[in-house]
Structure formats: structure tokens, C-alpha cells
Amino acid sequence: MSRWRLIGFGFLAFALGLIAAAPATLIDSYLQQVSAGGLRLAEASGTLWSGAGQIEIRDANRRSGIAKKIVWHVRPTYLLRGKILFEVALDHAAQSFPVTVSLSQVEVADADINLPAAALGLGVPKLAPLGLTGDMLLHIARLTFGRGSVQGNATLQWRGAGSAFTRVSPLGDYELRFEGDGAAVRASLRTLQGPLQLEGQGSWASGSNPVFRGNARVPPQQLEQLAPLLRLIAIERGEGRFELLL
């Protein structure tokens, strides 16, 4: 065996030893740094190699949020490529998904994540007081987070949408698609079904605030019930039409 191959195996063994011994709390520090406190790993136990904890998504004020049980383990063969690949499972799910970490970026792929409707209020504070209900599923085909950039695509479906401010239930089923090209993330909203028809477009670029503009349409027979809810977040344009600016 050549000297360089021996050196390579020695480096790999050293890296494996560091990962096996490093505490899981280092992940919490890393998440806080890259998300400006929006992501945390609470109650972390184990090591970088294999561990568990509570992954937290927090609001803009870092005062409230949602948490999910998370477990992970590392696939050591990816260390030969200069990367760390974590197999991650949430809420005791039978199927895990890969999270790949390198010096310059983090990639998430083939992930299905169930979320409460309250998570919308974390991303859009204007929605937080509405008492949103329903089931949400975030499907990440592939998203890569780098220094000030996001690439890839994901889909968020909100099924059985509702609000504490109206007796109309469900309001409908909706789909929000995300596309990141590195320079910006663009979002498009459409209605799958339901009496409250929503559509819109949004975008977010690094260093600027997200902008979303949309429209809501309400059938005449339900306008009296739904108008008070929509007036909290939209401008009424008449004839059951509302303009959303989030």
C-alpha cells in the first residue's frame, strides 16, 4: 500500500474519530449560526455520529415556535467526498431522508415533513393571530442552502384549511410551490379546491424582505361569513374580491 493511501486512510480514521466523539450540541450551535436563531436543536443527546433531540422552528422574535422529535446517524462513506451525510427521521417516521453538509452548503432531499398550520404564522407573522387549522405537508424534492442563496424546489400543501375567525370549515385545500435559483426564491400559490379561492406570487432575495401578492375570491353565499376574516389580512376590492399583501 502506497504512503499516500496510508495517509488517506489515516485522515479518514481521524475524521471518523472526531465525528464519533463530538457532542450533538455542536449541531445546535451550527443551526443557530446559519439561521440567525430561527432553528434550534433542543434537548440534544448523543454525538454528531448518532443522536436525537427536538428540532425547533422559531418565529421572528424567537419567542415561540414548533418542535419535532428528530433522530439521525451519519453515513461514513461520504466523508471520502469531503461531506457529512446525515440520515434523518422526524417524529419516529419509518422513512428517513438525507441531509448533506459540506463547508459551503447544506442540502436536503426527498423529504416529507408534516407540520401544523400554525407554522404558517412563523413564516408570515401577519397570519399568526388568525388561529389557523388544518394539515400541512412539506415535500422537499431538493433544496440547497448556501451563503445567501437557495437552490432547488419544494411544495407545501395545506389540506382542510381553517381559521378560528370563521365558522366556514374547511376553507379549502391549497398548494404553495417554491423554486430557488440561487439569486432568489420564488413562490406561487394556487387553490386545489374549496369555497375560498386563493392565488398569488411571491419572491425573496438575500438581504431583502419577502414579498407576496395574491388575490382571494369568495362566492356570494359565503361572503358575509368570510369577509371579516379576509379584512384582517387583505384589502376588499368589491364583489367578493380581496387583494392580499403579505
- The whole-number pLDDT of residue 106 equals 86
Here the cell at position 240 is 367578493
Burial 130-163 (b: 16+ CB within 10 A, else e): bebbbebebebeebbbeeebbbbbbebbbbebbb
Q: What is the DSSP letter of 62?
A: S
Q: State yes or no: pLDDT of 70 exceeds 90.
A: yes
In this predicted structure, the answer to whether residue 8 has a pLDDT above a threshold of 80 is no
Of 198, 153, 152, 206, give the one whose Cα is nearest residue 175. 198
Measured CA distances, 159 to 114, 192, 230 (Å):
11, 9, 19
Model pLDDT, residue 7: 46
Over residues 153-158, mean pLDDT = 97
Greater pLDDT, 166 or 17: 166
Whether the CB-CB separation of 68 and 80 falls below 8 Å is answered with no
Q: Answer yes or no: is pLDDT of 3 > 60.
A: no
Structural contact between residues 55 and 41, judged by C-beta atoms closer than 8 angstroms: yes
What band does 37 get if pLDDT is binned at 50, 70 and 90? Answer: confident
Three-state secondary structure of 64-131: CEEEEEEEEEEEHHHHHHCCEEEEEEECCCCCCEEEEECCCCEEEEEEEEEEECCHHHHHCHHHHHHC
Distance CA 72, CA 89 (A): 6
Helix (H, G, I), strand (E, B) or coil at 220: helix
Q: What is the CA radius of gyration of the chain?
A: 21
* Separation CA 231–CA 176 (nearest Å): 22
